[in-house]
Structure formats: C-alpha cells, structure tokens
Structure 1
Amino acid sequence: MLIRRGTDADDAAIRVVHDAAFAKPDAPGAETVEAKLVGELRADGDLLPALSLVAEIDGRIAGHVCCSHARIGSTPGPVGLGPLGVLPELQSTGVGSALMHAVIAAADALDLPAIVLLGSPGYYSRFGFAPAAEFGITPSTPDWEPYFQVRPLTTYSKDLTGTFHYAPAFDRL
C-alpha cells in the first residue's frame, strides 16, 4: 500500500471511494454527502492539497482522507479532518489507520497546531484524539459535543480555545 498526496487525476476515484464507503442501503448508487463535501471543499479552495491523501493498492485508490481550512473564533490555524473513507471490501484491513497516521504526521510537519473532527471516540482515540471540551474548544453546533474531538500537534498552544468553525462547505450539507 502506498499513501500519497491525491492529484486531480484521482478525483473520480476519490468520489467512488466515498460513495461506496458511505452508501445508504436504501439508496445504492446515490451520491453521498461525503463525496459531495469533498467536491465542494475542493471547488471552494478550502481542501488542503498537502492533506488530501489517498491509499493506493495495486494501482487502485482504496481510501481517501482530507483536511480543510477551519478556524477557532476568527483565528485560523487548526484544520478540520473529514471525510475519511475506505472501499467497503478493504475496511478493517488497516487502510484507514494508515491514512490517519499519514495525515496526522503531514499536518504536524506543516506546523499546524491541531486537527479537529466529528467521529466515533472509540475509533479516533487510538490516534490521540480526545474530547474537544478538554481543550476548551467547542463545536459550532452543540449536538456535536459527544463526537467532537481534537488531536493536538507539536505546535499546539493552550491558548487555542473557543468555538470551532469548519470550512463553509460543511454548513451547506
């Protein structure tokens, strides 16, 4: 498996990954919110190319993770992670974990202070994510609180507190 930066040539395969990974049983083949989100983040210029990574196995895109611009209050700096998708037949094989380790390392190498996400605490805690409230960071939507998490990175500062805002494409979901 090769984890690498996604390219424009990967866009269609990335869409396939997210549509397959998040397909609804009652709407097979329909565009998923996650696939649409990646496209809108890209179109808005909020998708961070250095943090849009694909997992390639035998020349095929098997998974994708991305981060986008975000802010706490009016301060830019942390990034929002998501979506993370893996082809269904390759889930639970380490592809998602490899993508997570790679995107965390890449964000840290870019001197970003933190990664924020909405997701299962049981899954993401293994990558160093913890409840955002522990860091004084609150979601813009209070209902997110149980799933709202932060992964501090090397340049994280305890002064980074307040209400977190994803890129505008998230608000259009």
Structure 2
Amino acid sequence: MAQRGIRAGNPVAAATRGGAPLPAGEPMEVGLVARLRASEAWLPALSLVAEIDGEIRGHVCLTRATVAGRPALALGPIGVPPEHKGHGIGAALMHAVLGAADALDEPLVALLGHLDYYPRFGFVPGSTLAVDPGVPDWVSHFQIRPLPAYTPDLAGGFRYAEPFYEE
C-alpha cells in the first residue's frame, strides 16, 4: 500500500527530480520560489509538499501579501507534475494549506487562477469582496478565499510579495 502524506517542505524539490532540472529546463516556478524563499514574505509553515512513497508529487505555498497595507496571504505557486494530475493531489494540497492558514488566524488567501478550478475551494472574484489586484490585466482571474478571521473592512488594493513582480 502506498504511503501518502502532506508535510511542510521545500517546493523547489517538487519542481525538480533528484535535484536535476526537468528535461525542458527549469520551470519558471523554481525561480519564483527561490526568490520568495529569500524574501521576508516567505512563511515556512505554509510551504507544503505532497509525498507518495517518499517521492514528492506536488507542492503549494502561501506567502505574505497585503490588502490596503494589512496582512493577507497569496497562494502560489502550486504544482503537480502532469503525470500525477487527476489523482486529487492538488486538491489535497489546497485543503491542507487553507486549513493551515485558518489555524494561523489569517484573514484571506488571494490568487490568480483558473475560474473553473478554484471556486470549489471557496474562492470568489476579488471584486465581490472589494479587493483589487492592482494590475488591470489580473482582474478577471483574481480570486479571494475569505477565512474565518476575515472581516469585511479588509478591502482595497492587494499587493503580492515583491518577487511576484520581478521578471
């Protein structure tokens, strides 16, 4: 029987196999995670990996962000290698990281993501909670998941950690 689990871990390891870059080169997410890990926005307790039989099969991380200068969280990157998609790994990671954020009394999680996937985890358009991503091109895919600590006065401009704006 396969041993499965989700634990705190290094998501860079999920984007590489045995430390070697993937055949097509290093995914963009690897560089982003490296920059996030070096920033003040990095929250080690909210960086999770999914393991099956000792092999990392997916990752997710939340980093510090702000809404109108007040603390919030940003989701991403999240990743599951294509050969492991469709087995619930991404959903398990989402549930685990949202539960961890709730346990830390965080107010909300924001992301830019697929409109058909993330609503199943309670994400709604940012505009419904009066939170703006600050980049016009992001409005259509900007979503918020309010957590139990959320209050409606948490509104205004959302700001990701600086590494999200670097090229």
1:55 aligns with 2:58: no
SS of equivalent residue, structure 2 residue 127: helix
The residue number in structure 1 matching 2:166 is 172
- Note the 1:16-55 alignment, pairs <5 A: 16=16, 28-55=23-50
What's the CA shift for 1:47? 1.8
Which deviates the most, 95-104 or 66-75? 66-75
The residue number in structure 1 matching 2:5 is 2
Aligned-residue identity in percent:
49
What's the CA shift for 1:12? 5.1
Q: Deviations over 1:106-132 (max 9, x none)?
A: 000000000000000100000000000
- Note the 1:5-154 alignment, pairs <5 A: 5-6=8-9, 10=10, 13-16=13-16, 28-75=23-70, 77-154=71-148
Q: Deviations over 1:111-160 (max 9, x none)?
A: 00000000001000000000000000001211101100000001000000
- Which letter maps to 2:156? G
TM-score (norm 2): 0.91
The residue number in structure 2 matching 1:20 is none
Structure 1: gaps (5+ residues): 18-22
Is the alpha carbon distance of 1:71 and 1:168 closer, same or farther for their aligned partners in structure 2, counting shifts above 3 Å?
Answer: same
Aligned alpha-carbon RMSD (Å): 1.4
CA distance in 2, matches of 1:165, 1:55: 28
Q: Deviations over 1:40-85 (max 9, x none)?
A: 000113221111000000000000000111011222x210000100
Structure 2: gaps (5+ residues): none
CA distance in 2, matches of 1:53, 1:12: 11
CA distance in 2, matches of 1:13, 1:52: 12
SS of equivalent residue, structure 2 residue 16: helix
Which deviates the most, 161-170 or 39-48? 39-48
Q: By percentage of residues, which structure has more helix?
A: 1
TM-score (norm 1): 0.88
